[in-house]
């Protein structure tokens, strides 16, 4: 009798566990699944970026850092294809020195003179990626414009806002390239959030630009520029977040 009761109890437990497991499996499918009617129409992302100069550019520049934004518009019904727009700014050189505000006021007022060497980028192209799963790989390509410029600014104190600035040198070139990465879902609510990590090769072409130390201040107050002409290609690594938009 006791053995029969144990068998009945085990059978009841198994029957109770079956729908619970089925419900858990359904929840997992819902969490990682893709539904055209409920999935976000587009995504907005932001990332931090580290850049490694490639080829000839590496002879003149060591590294770069910066950040960017991207917007991804879903194109097909199944969520595999999207149109991606990227915009970013990278800094590859920085210098700061304390100088007198003006010879007229003598040494009573000094300011921070800061010079930054930057590359701005804007590009558009397709992105193909896996729309479901705990890890969602993607690849993309783009065409766009690369703008390399050196800017000097004057501020009242270290870290303070500048009150005057000028672009010392700039150049622009046609850019293209491609990359890949992964989205890892972090939140699956109305506006899902995913971790975004990847790598991109940017063929920025040749341009004329300034580096750290290429601006020389002359005793008479004028400056002398020593620009370099070379390819400006980059390999970039990024990590950031992407948020679904309704």
Does position 16 have pLDDT exceeding 50, yes or no?
Answer: no
Q: What is the pLDDT of residues 160-178, one digit of tens each?
A: 677 788 999 999 999 999 9
Both tokens assigned to 79: 């969520």
39-43, 119-123, 137-141, 173-177: range with lowest mean pLDDT: 39-43
Q: How confident is the model at residue 226 (pLDDT cuts 50, 70, 90)?
A: very high
Does position 21 have pLDDT exceeding 90, yes or no?
Answer: no
Q: What is the pLDDT of residues 55-97, one digit of tens each?
A: 999 999 999 999 999 999 999 888 899 999 999 999 999 988 8
The model's pTM is 0.79
Do the Cβ atoms of 216 and 223 come closer than 8 Å?
Answer: yes
Both tokens assigned to 108: 């009573």
Q: What is the pLDDT of residues 33-50, one digit of tens each?
A: 556 567 788 999 999 999
> What is the reported pLDDT for 6?
38
Does position 103 have pLDDT exceeding 90, yes or no?
Answer: no
Both tokens assigned to 31: 């969490």
Q: Is 213 left (phi over 0), alpha (psi -120 to 50) or beta?
A: left
Radius of gyration of the chain (CA): 27
| Residue 61 exposed, middle or buried by CB count within 10 Å (0-12, 13-18, 19+) | buried
- In the chain, the DSSP E strands lie at 42-53, 64-74, 81-100, 110-129, 136-155, 162-187, 193-203, 206-209, 215-217, 223-225, 228-231, 234-245
> What is the reported pLDDT for 8?
37
Give mean pLDDT, residues 226-238: 97
Q: What is the dihedral of CA 208, 230, 117, 59, to 10 degrees?
A: -150
Both tokens assigned to 50: 């580290």
Q: CA 125 to CA 83: how far, in whole Å?
A: 6
Does position 147 have pLDDT exceeding 70, yes or no?
Answer: yes
User: How do the domains of the chain map onto residue ranges?
Assistant: 1-32, 39-245
Both tokens assigned to 205: 């072409």
Q: Which of 3.40.640.10, 2.40.160.20, 3.40.50.12280, 2.40.50.100 is the CATH number of 39-245?
A: 2.40.160.20
Q: CA 93 to CA 105: how far, in whole Å?
A: 31
> What is the reported pLDDT for 17?
40
> What is the reported pLDDT for 25?
39
Give the distance from CA 55 to its chain's centroid: 22
Percent of residues in the chain assigned helix, strand, coil, to nearest 5 = 15, 60, 25
Round the average pLDDT of the chain to a whole number and report it: 84
Percentage of the chain exceeding pLDDT 70: 80
């Amino acid at each position: 009798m006791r053995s029969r009761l144990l068998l009945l109890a085990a059978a009841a437990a198994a029957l109770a566990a079956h729908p619970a497991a089925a419900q858990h499996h359904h929840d997992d499918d819902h969490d990682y699944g893709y539904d055209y009617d409920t999935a976000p129409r587009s995504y907005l992302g932001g990332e931090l970026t580290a850049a490694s100069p490639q080829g000839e550019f590496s002879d003149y520049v060591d590294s770069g850092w910066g950040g960017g934004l991207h917007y991804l518009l879903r194109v097909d019904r199944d969520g595999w294809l999207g149109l991606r727009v990227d915009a970013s700014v990278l800094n590859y050189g920085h210098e700061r020195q304390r100088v007198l505000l003006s010879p007229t006021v003598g040494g009573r007022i000094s300011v921070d003179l800061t010079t930054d060497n930057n590359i701005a980028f804007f590009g558009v192209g397709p992105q193909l990626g896996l729309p479901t799963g705990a890890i969602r790989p993607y690849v993309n390509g783009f065409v766009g414009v690369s703008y390399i410029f050196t800017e000097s600014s004057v501020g009242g104190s270290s870290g303070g806002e500048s009150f005057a600035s000028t672009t010392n040198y700039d150049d622009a070139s046609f850019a293209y390239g491609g990359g890949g990465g992964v989205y890892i879902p972090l939140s699956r609510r109305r506006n899902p959030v995913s971790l975004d990590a990847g790598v991109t090769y940017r063929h920025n072409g040749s341009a004329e630009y300034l580096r750290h130390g290429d601006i020389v201040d002359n005793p008479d107050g004028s400056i002398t520029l020593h620009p370099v002409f070379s390819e400006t290609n980059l390999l970039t690594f990024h990590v950031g977040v992407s948020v679904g938009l309704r």
